[in-house]
Structure 1
């Protein structure tokens, strides 16, 4: 056996060399490990990773109780031509920068406008709800097509538009229209800005759009400006020692709905340094209370914010005579954002409020602490007429 050892070593070396030659051309270089860009400070629903010649954006919790994380490749057309991906590895491959986009929520539109790419919008469900002046101009010129309703998109028109991507919005993931679009080969990426737990986290989703357009630096700069403005207003409100008591919401049928103490609305009130009467409550969604319990607790509240969809004192009175018994009603201290609308009646707050929490916070500070921000004019909230 020992005499055959040199022969066996030679044979082993030849086999190893042969295997290496046969493998030539079949081996594939593994893509670089994904590295987080560490640019997301507040938002929990998405993250951006760099994988060398392409980027990856992950989206989790685009609606409550989501049991899946979504993963999308963002890649240039040039790189895509020489890169292949395993089937099922990603939920969508998006060629960037985006040239044509369809969005499904008005909350998506301010990011396009702030980034200067609103002209890429080619379709939207419910164009009458859009308040942006520049996008309304594009609608009037036929550059933005009406797509029906978010729950039942006009897929025929949408497929005709051939957008590079559809930014989806959903409450449970069961949107058949979006499934049809995805099967046609148009990538659908979900946006979960509304699920975030803080005002700045929601605003930070501008970075989600920044990476779609290769405008990450611009998105970072815009968000930093918003963040600085918000924190400066918050610090100013901390200086006051008197906290006015605040009530919110109104009756719908037999139930009074108002923000719970862990909501973003309650966070704004806290940062405005006011005494929100339901700040100590917790839970998901709105509080649902009886009129009697609200009246007992909030009859003497100094200020009443966001009385549902009511736009005048008379309308509030006609809806329920008991509203007139609140001190805030007697003293004309009721404020709403429902009267600040676009050309076709869309409520501006529902479009821009999420993207600009600094303006919302300043509005509340101006209303509740009029001695502060003396030169500031409220942007969304106006007194109920």
Structure 2
């Protein structure tokens, strides 16, 4: 039965939302799609603007014929000027891009996900790391229209990049490779809604602000509804969640295994807004790292739930072995005793790519819905299963999404979240076995008390404490 539910969810992710679907070449929700004529531009061209509300790492300023987009984490300044208009001169500009862009390339799966959410994937010409793409319709486009980057041939890649209007990359990639490269740092945002709001950053290149504003308003309203309901229902019974990972000895870590407990800001947001608490093992740093499994397990003694993000632990027995849990000792740890171990790998591509790096970045409301389902069993009536998180202790299967699951290659990818207002939230049942080890008396030095009222000050503190080096490390840990 559970497999059937998961398969249905996967089909829902692959299917377009009729209300938001855009056919190839549609101008609905776009502004000033044509180039300025020979007589030049007169007056302001961009009637619809994007206002940044949650994201801290990008800004956008509008002028009559151009926009200035800034990625604060990557120190990138991008001037987007209406095609046909005179190219402006902006001090410190990293690149000048005529908009709306006619062709794009993307190296990151999250960039591809934002593009598809906007319904402008008909402009995509090349994609990097293409086997990792989970979207059914992008897989179909890759098989028929989009060309993957020729990653084994640097000269060919350079040519492919120069033949597009803009190339989206992540900091740390080949940012200086071409003069049309644009960096995006959505994965460094310290809030879940902040990550999702980067839909407005990408929309600016397509003059798709109207689409982005509408989509983000829907996501944020749904997210806040989920958070408010969870706060009212679960404030008195909040399990402790730990986001963990294990790295096996390899040439990349001096053949020394290590374990981590993530402290990423957006995960704090999610756990708090799901009516739970997050294990605080690193006092505000990006992650707590351990080179001893004993020390790692000692830090996990207060955790009720483990969300494992390791690239090597695929079965429950594998996880216990990799974590160093001796045979017969599982009951020492609340998360193991209750079997509350999850992995965010429930939706994968035919090549093993994880949707975790795509849709959840865009759809914060769906991600919060998943975390609530993990934290609070039976939160909704019916046979509900999370979309991305699978119960490792129950050996829940992975759902594989392929090109055949796509029904319309050019439709905007739909938000897989349920409508919060339509969900019948159930009260937490203290007698439920999953709550058997949950304590209401955790102290602040062990557990970060994530009340919603303290969210703003916590986010500000994390932002102020950040540095470029820490941000890059956090990027490794947060996903």
The TM-score by the shorter chain falls in which range? 0.7 to 0.9
The aligned counterpart of 2:116 is 113
Shift of 1:113: 1.0
Aligned pairs for 1:153-164 within 5 A: 154-160=154-160, 162-164=163-165
Distance 1:368 1:99 in 2: 44
Task: Give the structure 1 partner of residue 406 of structure 2.
Answer: none
How many residue pairs match? The answer is 332
Structure 2 CA distance for aligned equivalents of residues 337 and 160 of structure 1: 33
Report the CA distance shift for 1:349/1:89 in structure 2 as closer, same or farther (over 3 A): closer
User: Counterpart of 1:127?
Assistant: 130
Taking the TM superposition and a 5 Å limit, the aligned residue runs for 1:15-94 are 39-62=51-74, 69-79=75-85, 83-86=86-89, 90-94=93-97
Shift of 1:302: 2.6
TM-superposed deviation, 1:48? 1.5
| Structure ranking higher on relative contact order (CA contacts 8 Å, 6+ apart) | 2
2:353 maps to what in 1?
346
SS state of the match for residue 229, structure 1?
helix
1:288 aligns with 289
The answer to whether 1:190 aligns with 2:183 is: yes
- Say which of 188, 202, 218 aligns to 2:195: 202
TM-score for both structures, normalised by structure 2: 0.64
- The residue number in structure 2 matching 1:249 is 244
2:359 paired with 1:358: no
1:228-267 CA-partner distances (Å, limit 9, x unpaired): 111111111112121122233143344320112x621122
The corresponding residue for 1:19 is none
Q: CA RMSD in A?
A: 2.7
Contact 1:123 1:147 in 2 (8 A): no
Cα distance, 1:280 vs structure 2:
7.6
Distance 1:204 1:352 in 2: 13
SS in structure 1 at match of 2:358: helix
Distance in 2, matches of 1:315 and 1:142, equals 40
> The residue matched to 1:353 in structure 2 has which SS?
helix
Report if the CA contact (8 A) 2:50-2:213 is conserved: no
Gap change, CA 1:87 and 1:372, over 3 Å in 2? closer
CA shift digits 1:54-96 (9 cap, x unpaired):
222122112xxxxxx43222122221xxx24448663221111
TM-score, normalising length: structure 1: 0.78
Residues 10-40 of structure 1 show CA distances to partners (whole Å, capped at 9, x for unaligned) of: xxxxxxxxxxxxxxxxxxxxx99x9x95700
Q: CA–CA distance in 2 between the matches of 1:95 and 1:108?
A: 19
CA distance in 1 between counterparts of 2:90 and 2:375 reads 56
- Deviation digits for residues 144-175 of structure 1 (CA, Å, limit 9, x no counterpart): 323428xxx8342442461000112123xxx5
SS in structure 2 of the partner of residue 179 of structure 1: coil
Alignment of 1:148-187 (within 5 A): 148=151, 154-160=154-160, 162-171=163-172, 175=173, 177-182=174-179, 187=180
Change (3 A) 1:279 1:297: closer
Residue in 2 aligned with 1:275? 277
Give the drift of 1:327. Answer: 3.6
Corresponding position: 1:227 with 2:239: no
- Judged with a 3 Å threshold, the aligned counterparts in structure 2 of structure 1 residues 155 and 197 are, in CA distance, closer, same or farther, namely farther
Partner of 2:389: 381
**Which of the numbers 204, 210, 230 marks the counterpart of 1:237?**
230
Supply the distance in 2 between the matched residues of 1:189 and 1:275 (Cα, whole angstroms). 37
How many Å separate the matches in 1 of 2:114 and 2:387?
18
Larger Rg: 1
CA contact (8 A) 1:166 1:188 kept: yes
Where does structure 1 lack aligned partners over 5 or more consecutive residues? Answer: 1-30, 63-68
Structure 2, unmatched stretches of 5+, are 1-42, 249-256, 396-479
Of residues 107-116 and 326-335 in structure 1, the stretch that sits farther from structure 2 once superposed is 326-335
Could you tell me which residue of structure 1 aligns to residue 7 of structure 2? none
